A and B are shown apart, each in its own frame.
Chain A
Amino acid sequence: MNDEEQQLRQALKRATETDPAPPAFAAVWSRAEADYARSKRRYTWIATAAAIVAVVVVGLKVSTPVPDEPSYIEMAELLDTTSWTAPSDVLMPEYQFDIYEDLPAVPRSTKPVEGALL
Protein backbone atom coordinates (compact mmCIF):
# COMPACT_ATOMS: atom_id res chain seq x y z
CA MET A 1 0.00 0.00 0.00
CA ASN A 2 1.54 3.31 -1.05
CA ASP A 3 1.63 6.58 0.89
CA GLU A 4 -1.45 7.97 -0.79
CA GLU A 5 -3.46 4.89 0.13
CA GLN A 6 -2.09 4.96 3.66
CA GLN A 7 -3.19 8.59 4.05
CA LEU A 8 -6.60 7.78 2.63
CA ARG A 9 -6.92 4.86 5.04
CA GLN A 10 -6.05 7.01 8.05
CA ALA A 11 -8.39 9.79 7.00
CA LEU A 12 -11.28 7.40 6.44
CA LYS A 13 -10.60 5.60 9.69
CA ARG A 14 -10.81 8.93 11.51
CA ALA A 15 -14.01 9.72 9.64
CA THR A 16 -15.68 6.47 10.70
CA GLU A 17 -14.57 6.70 14.31
CA THR A 18 -17.82 8.47 15.03
CA ASP A 19 -19.82 5.27 14.43
CA PRO A 20 -22.15 4.60 17.38
CA ALA A 21 -21.02 2.02 19.91
CA PRO A 22 -22.17 -1.50 19.08
CA PRO A 23 -24.80 -3.17 21.26
CA ALA A 24 -23.47 -5.69 23.76
CA PHE A 25 -22.61 -8.98 22.07
CA ALA A 26 -24.28 -11.01 24.82
CA ALA A 27 -27.58 -9.18 24.31
CA VAL A 28 -27.65 -9.61 20.53
CA TRP A 29 -26.49 -13.21 20.85
CA SER A 30 -29.12 -14.16 23.41
CA ARG A 31 -31.83 -12.57 21.25
CA ALA A 32 -30.55 -14.54 18.27
CA GLU A 33 -30.56 -17.75 20.31
CA ALA A 34 -34.11 -17.09 21.47
CA ASP A 35 -35.15 -16.36 17.89
CA TYR A 36 -33.55 -19.58 16.68
CA ALA A 37 -35.14 -21.62 19.46
CA ARG A 38 -38.52 -20.08 18.66
CA SER A 39 -38.24 -20.88 14.95
CA LYS A 40 -37.10 -24.42 15.78
CA ARG A 41 -40.09 -24.88 18.12
CA ARG A 42 -42.41 -23.49 15.45
CA TYR A 43 -41.00 -25.91 12.90
CA THR A 44 -41.37 -28.81 15.33
CA TRP A 45 -44.98 -27.84 16.00
CA ILE A 46 -45.80 -27.59 12.30
CA ALA A 47 -44.11 -30.93 11.58
CA THR A 48 -45.93 -32.59 14.51
CA ALA A 49 -49.29 -31.16 13.47
CA ALA A 50 -48.76 -32.30 9.86
CA ALA A 51 -47.78 -35.79 11.06
CA ILE A 52 -50.84 -36.00 13.32
CA VAL A 53 -53.17 -34.92 10.50
CA ALA A 54 -51.58 -37.47 8.17
CA VAL A 55 -51.92 -40.27 10.74
CA VAL A 56 -55.58 -39.34 11.43
CA VAL A 57 -56.43 -39.25 7.72
CA VAL A 58 -54.74 -42.59 7.05
CA GLY A 59 -56.32 -44.10 10.18
CA LEU A 60 -59.79 -42.99 9.13
CA LYS A 61 -59.23 -44.28 5.64
CA VAL A 62 -58.05 -47.66 6.90
CA SER A 63 -60.61 -48.07 9.66
CA THR A 64 -63.66 -47.17 7.57
CA PRO A 65 -64.86 -50.40 5.89
CA VAL A 66 -65.70 -50.00 2.27
CA PRO A 67 -69.00 -51.91 1.57
CA ASP A 68 -68.85 -54.39 -1.27
CA GLU A 69 -71.54 -53.15 -3.59
CA PRO A 70 -73.04 -55.80 -5.89
CA SER A 71 -72.33 -55.11 -9.49
CA TYR A 72 -74.39 -56.43 -12.42
CA ILE A 73 -73.38 -56.97 -15.97
CA GLU A 74 -76.01 -56.18 -18.59
CA MET A 75 -75.63 -58.79 -21.28
CA ALA A 76 -76.92 -56.54 -24.08
CA GLU A 77 -74.49 -53.75 -23.13
CA LEU A 78 -71.65 -56.20 -22.98
CA LEU A 79 -72.45 -57.55 -26.45
CA ASP A 80 -72.69 -54.02 -27.83
CA THR A 81 -69.16 -53.33 -26.75
CA THR A 82 -67.67 -56.43 -28.34
CA SER A 83 -67.49 -57.90 -31.82
CA TRP A 84 -66.10 -61.10 -33.11
CA THR A 85 -64.98 -62.01 -36.61
CA ALA A 86 -64.17 -65.51 -37.73
CA PRO A 87 -60.66 -65.88 -39.18
CA SER A 88 -62.12 -67.52 -42.30
CA ASP A 89 -64.23 -64.44 -43.08
CA VAL A 90 -61.47 -63.26 -45.38
CA LEU A 91 -62.58 -66.00 -47.76
CA MET A 92 -66.04 -64.50 -48.12
CA PRO A 93 -67.00 -62.81 -51.45
CA GLU A 94 -67.13 -59.32 -49.97
CA TYR A 95 -63.40 -59.60 -49.35
CA GLN A 96 -63.08 -59.86 -53.17
CA PHE A 97 -61.04 -62.99 -53.23
CA ASP A 98 -61.40 -65.65 -55.90
CA ILE A 99 -63.26 -68.42 -54.26
CA TYR A 100 -64.36 -71.78 -55.58
CA GLU A 101 -68.09 -72.00 -56.07
CA ASP A 102 -67.89 -75.47 -57.80
CA LEU A 103 -65.59 -78.35 -57.28
CA PRO A 104 -62.66 -78.04 -59.67
CA ALA A 105 -62.34 -80.78 -62.33
CA VAL A 106 -59.50 -83.07 -61.46
CA PRO A 107 -57.93 -84.71 -64.60
CA ARG A 108 -57.75 -88.42 -64.68
CA SER A 109 -54.39 -89.92 -63.82
CA THR A 110 -52.66 -91.97 -66.52
CA LYS A 111 -49.37 -92.57 -64.86
CA PRO A 112 -49.18 -95.93 -63.08
CA VAL A 113 -47.25 -96.16 -59.86
CA GLU A 114 -46.45 -99.65 -58.55
CA GLY A 115 -49.09 -101.17 -60.85
CA ALA A 116 -51.95 -98.84 -59.96
CA LEU A 117 -53.13 -95.46 -61.19
CA LEU A 118 -52.83 -92.52 -58.90
Chain B
Amino acid sequence: MRDGDALENNPEVTRSALEAIHSQVFGWALSRCFYDQAVAEDLMQTAYVELLSGKARFDNKSSLKTFVFGVVQNLARSRYRRRASRLRLVKQYHATTPVETAELEEPTSDSALWQLVQALPSRQRDIVELVFCRDFTVAEASAVMGVTTGTGRVHYDRAKKALRKQIEQDDTGNEL
Protein backbone atom coordinates (compact mmCIF):
# COMPACT_ATOMS: atom_id res chain seq x y z
CA MET B 1 0.00 0.00 0.00
CA ARG B 2 1.26 3.46 -0.80
CA ASP B 3 2.00 5.87 2.00
CA GLY B 4 0.21 9.18 2.08
CA ASP B 5 3.37 11.16 1.40
CA ALA B 6 4.89 8.70 -1.08
CA LEU B 7 6.14 10.30 -4.27
CA GLU B 8 3.96 9.87 -7.34
CA ASN B 9 6.79 8.68 -9.61
CA ASN B 10 8.74 6.96 -6.84
CA PRO B 11 6.23 5.05 -4.72
CA GLU B 12 8.92 3.50 -2.52
CA VAL B 13 10.13 6.94 -1.39
CA THR B 14 8.28 9.07 1.14
CA ARG B 15 8.75 12.72 1.85
CA SER B 16 9.16 12.05 5.55
CA ALA B 17 11.91 9.48 4.90
CA LEU B 18 13.77 12.06 2.82
CA GLU B 19 13.31 14.66 5.52
CA ALA B 20 14.83 12.26 8.06
CA ILE B 21 18.09 11.94 6.09
CA HIS B 22 18.10 15.54 4.81
CA SER B 23 20.93 16.83 7.00
CA GLN B 24 23.15 13.82 6.29
CA VAL B 25 22.58 14.20 2.56
CA PHE B 26 23.45 17.88 2.86
CA GLY B 27 26.75 17.01 4.57
CA TRP B 28 27.56 14.62 1.76
CA ALA B 29 26.55 17.17 -0.91
CA LEU B 30 28.79 19.73 0.79
CA SER B 31 31.81 17.47 0.61
CA ARG B 32 31.01 16.73 -3.06
CA CYS B 33 31.34 20.37 -4.05
CA PHE B 34 34.32 21.56 -2.03
CA TYR B 35 32.13 22.91 0.77
CA ASP B 36 30.34 25.45 -1.40
CA GLN B 37 27.01 25.79 0.40
CA ALA B 38 25.10 27.23 -2.56
CA VAL B 39 26.26 24.46 -4.86
CA ALA B 40 25.42 21.85 -2.22
CA GLU B 41 21.88 23.23 -1.94
CA ASP B 42 21.59 23.20 -5.70
CA LEU B 43 22.78 19.58 -5.80
CA MET B 44 20.21 18.57 -3.20
CA GLN B 45 17.42 20.37 -5.03
CA THR B 46 18.39 18.64 -8.28
CA ALA B 47 18.51 15.29 -6.47
CA TYR B 48 14.99 15.86 -5.15
CA VAL B 49 13.80 16.81 -8.65
CA GLU B 50 15.28 13.54 -9.95
CA LEU B 51 13.34 11.67 -7.27
CA LEU B 52 10.13 13.60 -7.94
CA SER B 53 10.29 13.01 -11.67
CA GLY B 54 11.20 9.34 -11.25
CA LYS B 55 14.40 9.74 -13.27
CA ALA B 56 16.16 8.34 -10.22
CA ARG B 57 13.94 5.44 -9.23
CA PHE B 58 14.34 3.77 -5.86
CA ASP B 59 13.50 0.06 -5.89
CA ASN B 60 14.41 -0.99 -2.34
CA LYS B 61 17.58 -2.78 -3.44
CA SER B 62 19.54 -0.74 -0.89
CA SER B 63 18.65 1.61 1.93
CA LEU B 64 17.11 4.94 0.92
CA LYS B 65 20.09 6.76 2.40
CA THR B 66 22.53 4.77 0.23
CA PHE B 67 20.37 5.45 -2.81
CA VAL B 68 20.06 9.20 -2.24
CA PHE B 69 23.78 9.51 -1.48
CA GLY B 70 24.41 7.72 -4.78
CA VAL B 71 22.13 10.14 -6.63
CA VAL B 72 23.98 13.12 -5.14
CA GLN B 73 27.32 11.51 -5.97
CA ASN B 74 26.29 10.99 -9.62
CA LEU B 75 24.93 14.52 -9.95
CA ALA B 76 28.12 15.96 -8.46
CA ARG B 77 30.21 13.85 -10.80
CA SER B 78 28.31 14.94 -13.91
CA ARG B 79 28.45 18.55 -12.71
CA TYR B 80 32.19 18.21 -12.30
CA ARG B 81 32.51 16.70 -15.78
CA ARG B 82 30.50 19.56 -17.32
CA ARG B 83 32.66 22.04 -15.47
CA ALA B 84 35.85 20.32 -16.54
CA SER B 85 34.86 20.31 -20.20
CA ARG B 86 33.86 23.99 -19.95
CA LEU B 87 37.23 24.79 -18.40
CA ARG B 88 38.96 22.88 -21.21
CA LEU B 89 37.04 24.97 -23.77
CA VAL B 90 37.92 28.20 -21.99
CA LYS B 91 41.57 27.15 -21.79
CA GLN B 92 41.51 26.31 -25.48
CA TYR B 93 40.36 29.84 -26.42
CA HIS B 94 42.35 31.73 -23.80
CA ALA B 95 45.49 29.66 -23.74
CA THR B 96 47.58 32.50 -22.37
CA THR B 97 45.15 33.65 -19.66
CA PRO B 98 45.32 31.66 -16.43
CA VAL B 99 41.91 30.22 -15.57
CA GLU B 100 40.68 30.60 -12.03
CA THR B 101 39.33 27.54 -10.30
CA ALA B 102 37.09 29.48 -7.98
CA GLU B 103 35.36 26.59 -6.25
CA LEU B 104 38.47 24.63 -5.41
CA GLU B 105 38.61 26.01 -1.91
CA GLU B 106 40.06 24.44 1.16
CA PRO B 107 37.57 22.66 3.38
CA THR B 108 36.23 24.75 6.21
CA SER B 109 37.30 22.30 8.88
CA ASP B 110 40.72 23.04 10.35
CA SER B 111 41.25 19.66 11.94
CA ALA B 112 44.64 18.18 11.12
CA LEU B 113 43.13 14.72 10.73
CA TRP B 114 40.50 16.03 8.36
CA GLN B 115 43.23 17.69 6.34
CA LEU B 116 44.97 14.32 6.08
CA VAL B 117 41.75 12.72 4.85
CA GLN B 118 41.32 15.50 2.29
CA ALA B 119 44.83 14.83 1.01
CA LEU B 120 43.99 11.20 0.18
CA PRO B 121 43.19 10.16 -3.41
CA SER B 122 39.54 10.86 -4.20
CA ARG B 123 38.20 7.27 -3.93
CA GLN B 124 39.98 6.68 -0.63
CA ARG B 125 38.78 10.02 0.68
CA ASP B 126 35.20 9.20 -0.32
CA ILE B 127 35.14 5.82 1.36
CA VAL B 128 36.73 7.15 4.54
CA GLU B 129 34.17 9.93 4.69
CA LEU B 130 31.25 7.59 4.01
CA VAL B 131 32.34 4.95 6.52
CA PHE B 132 33.73 7.09 9.32
CA CYS B 133 31.69 10.27 9.07
CA ARG B 134 28.40 9.16 7.49
CA ASP B 135 28.03 5.77 9.21
CA PHE B 136 27.94 3.58 6.13
CA THR B 137 29.26 0.05 5.95
CA VAL B 138 32.00 -0.57 3.38
CA ALA B 139 29.46 -2.38 1.16
CA GLU B 140 26.99 0.53 1.33
CA ALA B 141 29.75 3.06 0.73
CA SER B 142 30.88 1.08 -2.31
CA ALA B 143 27.32 1.18 -3.65
CA VAL B 144 27.22 4.96 -3.22
CA MET B 145 30.53 5.28 -5.05
CA GLY B 146 29.38 2.95 -7.82
CA VAL B 147 32.15 0.38 -7.29
CA THR B 148 32.03 -3.27 -6.22
CA THR B 149 32.36 -4.10 -2.55
CA GLY B 150 35.74 -5.71 -3.24
CA THR B 151 37.06 -2.54 -4.85
CA GLY B 152 35.58 -0.49 -2.01
CA ARG B 153 37.36 -2.68 0.51
CA VAL B 154 40.67 -2.17 -1.30
CA HIS B 155 40.21 1.63 -1.22
CA TYR B 156 39.21 1.43 2.42
CA ASP B 157 42.30 -0.58 3.43
CA ARG B 158 44.63 1.65 1.43
CA ALA B 159 43.07 4.74 2.98
CA LYS B 160 43.48 3.39 6.49
CA LYS B 161 47.10 2.46 5.81
CA ALA B 162 47.83 5.87 4.33
CA LEU B 163 46.17 7.63 7.28
CA ARG B 164 48.02 5.49 9.80
CA LYS B 165 51.31 6.25 8.06
CA GLN B 166 50.59 9.97 7.98
CA ILE B 167 49.56 10.04 11.63
CA GLU B 168 52.75 8.17 12.64
CA GLN B 169 54.87 10.55 10.58
CA ASP B 170 53.18 13.53 12.19
CA ASP B 171 53.70 12.04 15.64
CA THR B 172 57.41 11.45 15.09
CA GLY B 173 57.71 14.91 13.54
CA ASN B 174 56.13 16.48 16.61
CA GLU B 175 58.37 14.51 18.95
CA LEU B 176 61.48 15.75 17.16
Contacts and interface: CB of A to CB of B under 8 A. Distances in A.
Nearest to B47: A32
Nearest to A10: B132
Contacts of B46: 32
B114 A23 contact: no
B109 A16 contact: yes
Given A22-B23, A23-B41, A39 B30 contact: no
Contacts of A15: 109, 111, 113-114, 117
Nearest to A22: B26
A90 interface: no
Interface string A4-17: 11001101111110
B84 interface: no
Interface string B107-128: 0110101100100000000001
B128 A23 contact: no
Contacts of A5: 132, 160
A12 B109 CA distance: 10
Interface residues of B, number: 31
A14 B111 contact: yes
Chain A binding surface SS class: helix
Nearest to B128: A12
B103 interface: no
B26 A12 contact: no
Contacts of B111: 11, 14-15
Given A15-B113, A18-B109, A20-B37, A25 B133 contact: no
Kindly name the residue among A18, A19, A35, A40 whose own CB sees the greatest number of chain B CB atoms within 10 A: A19
B151 interface: no
Contacts of B160: 5, 8
Given A5-B160, A33-B52, A25 B22 contact: yes
Contact of A12 (B23, B49, B114): B114
B19 interface: yes
A6 B12 CA distance: 34
A111 to B, nearest CB: 101
B169 interface: no
A52 B137 CA distance: 54
A37 to B, nearest CB: 9
B99 interface: no
A39 B53 CA distance: 10
A16 B44 contact: no
B41 A12 contact: no
A36 B53 contact: yes
9 contacts: A8-B160, A13-B132, A19-B27, A20-B108, A21-B23, A28-B22, A29-B48, A35-B49, A39-B49
Interface of A: 4-5, 8-9, 11-16, 18-23, 25, 28-29, 31-33, 35-36, 39-40
